[in-house]
Amino acid sequence: MTQRELARLMGRPEQLVSEIIHGRKALTAATALQLEEALGVPAELWMNLEVGYRLELERSRAAERSA
């Protein structure tokens, strides 16, 4: 599935989908629900992935500051 197809299924701008995929924008609960509806994957999974990603980013930043 392309980003364009996903954006269309979700009713969201393609630019937003791209920014989320590339980690430039955080996934919101509303977007997670739209993904759930579009793809049949529970919103909780999307939110857990987002939280894990953001925690890893912060761990990396903290490690860089400590080095």
Distance CA 25, CA 38 (A): 19
Q: What is the pLDDT of residues 32-63, one digit of tens each?
A: 999 999 999 999 999 999 999 999 999 999 99
Whole-prediction pTM? 0.85
Q: What is the pLDDT of residues 12-34, one digit of tens each?
A: 999 999 999 998 999 999 999 99
What ranges do the domains of the chain cover?
3-66
Distance CA 28, CA 48 (A): 11
Q: Which amino acid is at 27?
A: L
| Domain at 3-66, CATH from 1.10.260.40, 2.60.15.10, 1.10.565.10, 3.90.1300.10 | 1.10.260.40
Binning pLDDT at 50, 70 and 90, where does residue 7 land?
Answer: very high
Burial 40-56 (b: 16+ CB within 10 A, else e): eeebeebbeebeeeeee
Q: What is the pLDDT of residue 55?
A: 96
